């Protein structure tokens, strides 16, 4: 994923369009995230006053583990970006590290299979999206039970 700086410098202000594809095995995401399809990168680059301005988007399909119910799910991933890359004497810019960093930082910190995911029962571990368990709804730590008196008087 390299951009020829000379071509950009020879046409300041002109927008150059690039398309790259990153193989699923190339990017190592943290945790339980896996690329199901290649990462498509569409970007525009322009030279302006000693720097290259790049903007574009990243697209792929990822497999993640829900942070509430621990079930794996697949999701479409789409992220737009814009960045300025200052130039010294470079003849080309390798965007591999930049794209990898953009992708990894755009992944959700706590992925959810769906917004309304009910998660797991903290007592028995039943997936509450599948069925309700018979555990008491409010299991209070006995050390904190004294505090319930304060809320009753409010």
- What is the model's pLDDT at position 95? 85
Are residues 53 and 82 in contact, defined by beta-carbon separation less than 8 angstroms? Answer: yes
- Rounded CA separation 102/41 (Å): 11
What residues have CB less than 8 Å from 44, skipping those under 6 apart? 15, 16, 17, 18, 54, 55, 56
Provide the mean pLDDT of the chain: 85
- Over residues 124-149, mean pLDDT: 80
Residue percentage of the chain with pLDDT more than 70: 90
The sign one gets for the Cα dihedral 148, 127, 32, 104 is: negative
What residues have CB less than 8 Å from 42, skipping those under 6 apart? 17, 18, 19, 56, 57, 59
Which candidate, 84, 80, 82, places its Cα nearest to that of 106?
Answer: 80
- Over residues 118-133, mean pLDDT: 90
- What is the model's pLDDT at position 60? 94
- Over residues 42-69, mean pLDDT: 92
Higher pLDDT, 145 or 121: 121
């Amino acid at each position: 994923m390299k951009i020829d700086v000379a071509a950009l410098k020879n046409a300041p202000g002109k927008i150059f369009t690039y398309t790259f594809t990153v193989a699923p095995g190339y990017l190592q995401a943290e945790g339980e995230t896996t690329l199901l399809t290649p990462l498509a990168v569409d970007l525009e680059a322009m030279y302006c006053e000693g720097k290259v301005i790049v903007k574009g988007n990243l697209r792929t399909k990822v497999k993640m583990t829900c942070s509430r119910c621990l079930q794996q799910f697949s999701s479409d991933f789409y992220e737009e970006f814009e960045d300025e890359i200052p130039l010294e004497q470079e003849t080309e810019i390798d965007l591999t590290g930049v794209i990898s960093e953009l992708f990894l930082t755009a992944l959700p910190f706590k992925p959810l299979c769906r917004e309304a995911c009910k998660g797991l029962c903290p007592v028995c571990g039943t997936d509450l999206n599948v069925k309700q368990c018979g555990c008491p709804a409010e299991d209070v730590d006995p050390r904190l039970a004294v505090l319930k008196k304060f809320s009753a008087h409010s």
